[in-house]
Structure 1
Amino acid sequence: MAKDNTTFQQLVDLAQTPKKLHSSLLFAFFFFLFSFGVRSVLGYLKARGIGSDVVFHTGDKAFILFMTIGVVFALRWLMADAPFSFLRKYTVAPLIRTISTLLIYFGAIFFLLHRLLGINLTPLLTTSAVLTGVLILSLQDTIKNLFTGLWINMERIVAKGDWVKVGDKEGKVMEVTWRTTRLLTRDNDYIYLPNRILAEGIIENYTFPSPLHVVDIDIAASYKDPPNIVSSALLDIALGTPSVLANPKPEVWLTHFSDFSVSYRFRVYISDYRDMFDVKSELNRKIWYAFRRKGIEIPLPTRVLYHHKPVDTQVPQTTVLASLKNIDFLSFLSEEAMKDVAASATLETFGDGEVMVRQGEQGTTCYFIQSGTADVLAREASTGKDVYIASLKQGAFFGEMSLFTGEPRRATVVAKEDTVCLVIGSAAFKKIFVENPNVAEKLSSILAKRATELKEATAKSISQAEDAAQKKILHKIKSFFNIN
């Protein structure tokens, strides 16, 4: 199926080939047709004994003129237009294309001057050589820029679309001309660099030959935080960031010990250098939230005595009890059991875009949203893609099956804004189940009903997504073939 789609896309690309490609071939065909038409008419007149020497001489010149013009268009198509249009992977740069076209035109002009007008080009070429020497001496920098531009294109040093750094100038290559290379900076400013600067300086190309780019973040944690815990938290952040590549794998190194902290280097890989600052900002933001949830301290480089209190993740029992009583599968618990559950509750804060739980991962906690919103996503087995199921708002909860059975998460939940959750672990219910086994039976009945509802909602959402995709494809087909 993928092969058929590739073939179809190639046909679409061919249909969208620039008109200049077709016009060169069309002009070549017409001029060849005119030249052979002239030759045929002259042959017919000679065979019938019609016409004078002047007519035949003029006809021969017309034949040479039309044939030369046809050859010019054919060579232009062969040397410039065709490679530029078809060989997209090995594209002929505009500079080389322009020079090739000019050489063809000058060659045709010299040929016509000699054949049609009988001009002796030897003195002209001799004079041109002298003038060329004078021009070369007076235009050294310009000529150096020209040949450097050719070298840049032929060696594929930089090309349009590459992110490069030349000296202290960084930007995206917008164009390489015969004289300058034009860069667009992140500040949306244009920089015009003479090509000779590229030849004389050091060029860093962040796009070619590989678009992969490393993003390093140096982070510190306190001595009380075990290195394995810190490394695990950082790797989980990378796993939950879509713009970070899974291969090559993210890495964490413990780099050194200082007076007040342990230093780590967090390395991830991205596919486009343009996104480097956005990715680094997103990772730093997620590090703050993740470290705060896990109680990992980012120490300050100072030796003053701290008088502030640590972040209190325990929640007042009155707040927890009020929340638990509004939950259907816990509302039947006794007051004493409710207090036992409330005593173990903690608060966790998630930032926009953070994965709160991931489908397939093991878990023993349940989350109750105190503020913020989150989206529920389920992975479709046939495609492996996450499908939107529902949105969760304040008062909603998720993870109850993992809380009571320890089974893997059935869905992925992603925060859509800063979201604060009340988190309860399974250890809080062990004492309740031992003292009152009937509670487990009631819970299993309620949870089975919720699991069935989730399965039905997933199937409905997938069906709606398939219907929407089918309508979108149908619209594209009708639009492409102009079907009303």
Structure 2
Amino acid sequence: MNTIFLPATILALTLVSVLIVRSRPLVLKLSCELLLLIVILACLVARGTSPLPSGTELARHADAAWLRALAVVWWLIGARVVAAVVAIVLGHDARSRPARLFSDLLAGAIYLATVLIILNSVLDLPVNGLLATSGVIAIVLGLALQNTLADVFSGIAVGVDRPFRVGDRVTIKDHAEGMIVEATWRSVRIQTEQDDIATIPNSVVARGQIINHSFPTERRAASIEVPTRSSARSELLLELVRQATLLSPSVLEQPAPSVSLKRVGLSTTTLGVHYYAATTSEMGKAKGQLLRQVRRLFRHAGIENGSPPPLSEVLRQTTLFDSLPSEQIEALSRCLANRALAPGDVLFDQGSAGASLYIVRSGVLNVERRHEAGAIERLGRVGPGEYLGAISMMTGEPHPVTVTAETFGSVLEIPRGSLETLLKKNEVLSAALEQAIRQGMIILDGADAARTCDPIDRSGTVLARIRDYLLSSSGRHGVPNAR
């Protein structure tokens, strides 16, 4: 009875320990399993046997069955430890496709060899007939699973070549384009632009042409054509499209976009734009921005109508003044002063006083802010139809930004006095100006600053002070209803 107690106890403790550490971290699991291997080996050696016991050794022991069980457990735990070490050495990473394939295949080979050793050397079972029979079964299974095996070995070949990783955006010619979300033994799963999942067998992947859009960089090149029916000079059309690329935030500045003439007909001129986007997901956004900016610039330049729009139409197309009736638009247009700009010219500098509102009529302007440390932050670019200077004009405070011309262009200057009369008569215009200032504060100070400038804040906000400052010049303390 005493001879059976020790191996039985060790066997029970081993099974309990394996169950407890099964869900623990890998380091703890390996440490526990190595300790179990040492304890079982010590027990077997102490009883005069080994993990490969012979029949003569076990014949002398009354607890031979328990010692065989311990030897079986020793080999199974050893196989688990070796398979785990192999996985670590190869890099068991979800993004490492060849490591997963090789570690799984090697783990299978390790467990198969372990089973054969246990059957032949520990349990003394004949395996020659089993091996012969398994050869026939392997041939039958190979014929039945030839497509699956082709996918598996193709997966190994693709894994060794490593043309992509999980997370890369690829095109497998004639099959699918999208992001790799999973790569298994049999197939590759691709998430397409329509959020569908395309499953492609590895044998098809290995034979197909693979284009990896994420290597060496995720930057993507694209081209569009811009047809226009216009008799305008080709140089003007090229310059307007180049300005459209400057006004599209999703179009990368480097490498610089290129604009060229593609076709020149009797009534139609087609321009080509070659540009880059940061990622594939940005390509659609960049194209949409570019086409909208081209249309806007063409409209403000009068490309389709043959001549630029009159000043009254420029005001009407500006969102700030689109609520004004025609007679007020005409009156305001007579107060405008045109100012031409060349590249590098400063419209106004940060810290300078301002008492006018500026509407961009043509060209592209840079908006920058200079920090106390001397660093210059570019806040963006503005183009035709956009306006500047509202914050300084409404508050009397110095300009918070510097605006310089990046291209040749012109701006329309509206003195504050001309707007005061309109604000007294049009409540909608007053609200639009306040909204414009709020948006400017969002850009300058972020969303938190914008929230503190809510015009209905009981503590008295910047926008409330703007109303008082602007209307105080006429001795009024409120904006009358436009009706």
Per the shorter chain, which TM-score range?
0.5 to 0.7
Note if contact 1:235-1:252 (Cα within 8 Å) is conserved in structure 2.
yes
The 1:289/1:171 distance shift into structure 2, 3 A limit, reads: same
> Is residue 203 of structure 2 the alignment partner of residue 196 of structure 1?
yes
The 1:287/1:44 distance shift into structure 2, 3 A limit, reads: same
Alpha-carbon distance between aligned partners in 1 of 2:337 and 2:367, rounded to the nearest angstrom: 28
SS at match of 2:402: coil
Mapping 1:283-294, distance limit 5 Å: 283-294=290-301
Q: What's 1:37 paired with?
A: 39
> Is residue 210 of structure 2 the alignment partner of residue 218 of structure 1?
no
TM-score, with structure 1 as normaliser: 0.58
The 1:138/1:82 distance shift into structure 2, 3 A limit, reads: same
SS at match of 1:215: strand
**Which letter does structure 2 place at the counterpart of 1:72?**
A
Within the candidate set 141, 149, 174, 1:143 is matched to: 149
Within the candidate set 134, 140, 143, 2:140 is matched to: 134
Q: What's 2:113 paired with?
A: 107
Mapping 1:375-454, distance limit 5 Å: 378=369, 380=371, 385=377, 397=389, 410=402, 424-425=411-412
Alpha-carbon distance between aligned partners in 2 of 1:318 and 1:24, rounded to the nearest angstrom: 70
> Is residue 311 of structure 2 the alignment partner of residue 314 of structure 1?
yes
**Cα distance, 1:93 vs structure 2:** 5.6
**Cα distance, 1:57 vs structure 2:** 5.6
Q: How many residues align?
A: 356
Mapping 1:313-332, distance limit 5 Å: 313-315=310-312
SS at match of 1:291: helix
The 1:230/1:93 distance shift into structure 2, 3 A limit, reads: farther
SS at match of 1:367: strand
Q: What's 2:358 paired with?
A: 367
Alpha-carbon distance between aligned partners in 1 of 2:155 and 2:293, rounded to the nearest angstrom: 44
Note if contact 1:182-1:192 (Cα within 8 Å) is conserved in structure 2.
yes
**Cα distance, 1:89 vs structure 2:** 7.3
Deviations 1:240-280 (A, max 9, x none): 33332232221222223223233221111123223322321
> Is residue 238 of structure 2 the alignment partner of residue 231 of structure 1?
yes
Alpha-carbon distance between aligned partners in 1 of 2:243 and 2:313, rounded to the nearest angstrom: 30
**Which letter does structure 2 place at the counterpart of 1:29?**
S
In the alignment, structure 2 segments of 5+ residues that lack a partner are 1-20, 49-57, 322-331, 349-355, 381-385, 394-398, 416-440, 453-483
> Percent identity among equivalent residues?
21
Note if contact 1:215-1:276 (Cα within 8 Å) is conserved in structure 2.
yes
Name segments (4+ residues, structure 1) moved above 6 Å: 19-22, 316-320
The 1:29/1:408 distance shift into structure 2, 3 A limit, reads: closer
**Which letter does structure 1 place at the counterpart of 2:288?**
S
SS at match of 2:291: helix
SS at match of 1:184: strand
The 1:242/1:387 distance shift into structure 2, 3 A limit, reads: closer
Note if contact 1:212-1:271 (Cα within 8 Å) is conserved in structure 2.
yes
**Which letter does structure 1 place at the counterpart of 2:309?**
D
The 1:339/1:129 distance shift into structure 2, 3 A limit, reads: closer
In the alignment, structure 1 segments of 5+ residues that lack a partner are 1-18, 298-307, 325-337, 347-356, 389-393, 402-406, 414-422, 430-456, 469-484
Within the candidate set 210, 214, 217, 1:207 is matched to: 214
Q: Larger Cα Rg: Structure 1 or Structure 2?
A: 2
Q: What's 2:171 paired with?
A: 165
Alpha-carbon distance between aligned partners in 1 of 2:371 and 2:94, rounded to the nearest angstrom: 36
Alpha-carbon distance between aligned partners in 2 of 1:282 and 1:362, rounded to the nearest angstrom: 27
The 1:286/1:369 distance shift into structure 2, 3 A limit, reads: closer
Within the candidate set 329, 339, 342, 2:336 is matched to: 342
Alpha-carbon distance between aligned partners in 2 of 1:138 and 1:253, rounded to the nearest angstrom: 59
The 1:277/1:316 distance shift into structure 2, 3 A limit, reads: closer
Alpha-carbon distance between aligned partners in 2 of 1:341 and 1:27, rounded to the nearest angstrom: 82
Mapping 1:349-360, distance limit 5 Å: none
The 1:74/1:290 distance shift into structure 2, 3 A limit, reads: farther
**Cα distance, 1:218 vs structure 2:** 0.8
SS at match of 1:276: helix
**Which letter does structure 1 place at the counterpart of 2:402?**
R
**Which letter does structure 1 place at the counterpart of 2:191?**
L
> Is residue 177 of structure 2 the alignment partner of residue 183 of structure 1?
no
**Which letter does structure 2 place at the counterpart of 1:236?**
Q
TM-score, with structure 2 as normaliser: 0.58
